[in-house]
Structure 1
């Protein structure tokens, strides 16, 4: 990797870490409000796609405050490893786990990056990730790394914001993310106002570079196939899931 690439990556990581450092205390509640109450339903849909067994082990990447890990344990009784690059987010997740004996028995948390997972090949039965790909420099390489740690036959599921396909809803969506998100976030804190502005830029910019069809193709090339795509809430969110195929992913 060149020095320029390394610098670019560190700047992206630094920005993401700084962005989320001031958010954890109100993250769950504000996230639900800004999505008009849809975010919890989106997470439940993603978790339902995993269909884990009680004796299986799931890796939850970008676990944040631990909401998906909690949902996985409550739904399946499985064990979960939650990984996130933000120590501030993980502090909230640890408090959540410590307050619930069922979670404390089944959830462990660790700091780490999706691009360089500290686990062996096929170490997990299934994997989930939430609001991740907009924060990495190379989505294709990151998907290959995620697939690497899932056993053949295991399921991978994700949740992301999306841009509605229908013209009317897309116009309303653009108005909301450009004006509504920063304004509503500003009612909570300066950090949430800046987060609203960031989302208003980062979501359309990501899909301009990586249309949804291309993202599904990257999943397949990473060794996750077939890939299912389910738009949520008129296209404002998208849940994707697939099965880890036998064999290795295509090389870069």
Structure 2
């Protein structure tokens, strides 16, 4: 990959051709750091527990939408779509997963073929950008995203698109990592994906302001790092990435430079 490769091209490669979900730091075709409750510290974390932590992150986010049966939801950056399938099945809603990657959408339709057949029109996938959503105005009751907004260069435009597609009274929820305050410059040295722009770290208050300025109301920011970073670090320590930069997430969290949030509006 050349120096001239843009951050978006790097993201497209990572999530497309390279299939990030195949790495052992993830499992079950999910791609998130997981929402963890108590895990016995005296034994290794199992693959089933790792997978369940990622499924639980979806439940925690979508439950903030308080969706009613049959309501229509959009998932931004759905990836392989196992989270969208979980949401459609467990919450009894209609979910359209939106992703910009043809490779990811092909995987989503293949991996979730059984769920698509079972759920009929309650689970669909569509190509599109989060800054130009492929939905009409006032089309859905809820929009959510799980650990993908750190890959978006224009969060203000994303907020405007969320506001546009939501029906009156609709809700938005996301899980993502942000800086609690000003961005610490050394983050780009400690986290390999920040320097080349694959992950963009912003103050969480900046994104909350984007949502408010787009016309969304009742914006709430809930830090959940205690349920993410210590457990994720334990999991990484069990993999072949034990000596990698991935262990620096916990260090950054403990130094107050980064945290994980559920943001709703």
TM-score normalised over the length of structure 2: 0.67
- Residues of 2 paired with 1:32 and 1:134: CA distance? 13
Stretches of structure 2 that go unaligned for 5 or more consecutive residues are: 37-49, 227-252, 254-258
Once the two structures are superposed, the pairs formed by residues 64-143 of structure 1 within 5 Å of their partners are 64-100=79-115, 101-143=117-159
The CA deviation string for residues 45-103 of structure 1, in whole angstroms up to 9 with x for no partner, is 10111111112111111111113312321222111111100112212211233122434
Contact 2:67 2:142 in 1 (8 A): yes
* 1:115 alignment partner, SS class: coil
Contact 2:32 2:146 in 1 (8 A): no
Equivalent in the alignment of 1:13: 8
Deviation (angstroms), 1:204: 7.9
The equivalent of 2:19 in structure 1 is: 23
Give the alignment partner of residue 223 of structure 2, picking from 225, 231, 249: 231
2:68 corresponds to which residue? Answer: 53
**Is 1:153 aligned to 2:148, yes or no?**
no
Give the match for residue 47 of structure 2: none
Q: For residues 32 and 139 of structure 2, what CA distance do their matches in structure 1 show?
A: 36
Aligned pair in 2 of structure 1 residues 118, 105: CA closer, same or farther (>3 Å)? closer
Of the three residues 240, 243, 249, the one matched with 2:263 is: 240
> Are 1:84 and 1:90, in contact at CA under 8 Å, matched by a contact in 2?
yes
CA offsets 1:95-125 (integer angstroms, 9 cap, x no match)? 2331224344411111111111122110111
Query: Residue 262 of structure 2 aligns to a residue in which SS?
Result: strand
The one-character-per-residue Cα deviations of 1:1-47 (angstroms, maximum 9, x if unpaired) are: xxxxxxx9x93432221121212552651866965844433222101
**Contact 1:42–1:239, Cα closer than 8 Å, also in 2:** no
Shift of 1:205: 5.0
Equivalent in the alignment of 1:198: 193
Equivalence for 1:189 = none
Choose between structure 1 and 2: higher helix proportion: 1
Tell me the distance in 2 between the aligned counterparts of 1:149 and 1:34.
Answer: 28
1:213 aligned to 205, 215, 222, which one? 205
State the match for 1:178 in structure 2: 190
In structure 1, how many angstroms separate the alpha carbons of the residues matched to 2:152 and 2:177?
15
TM score, norm. by length of structure 1: 0.70
RMSD: 3.2
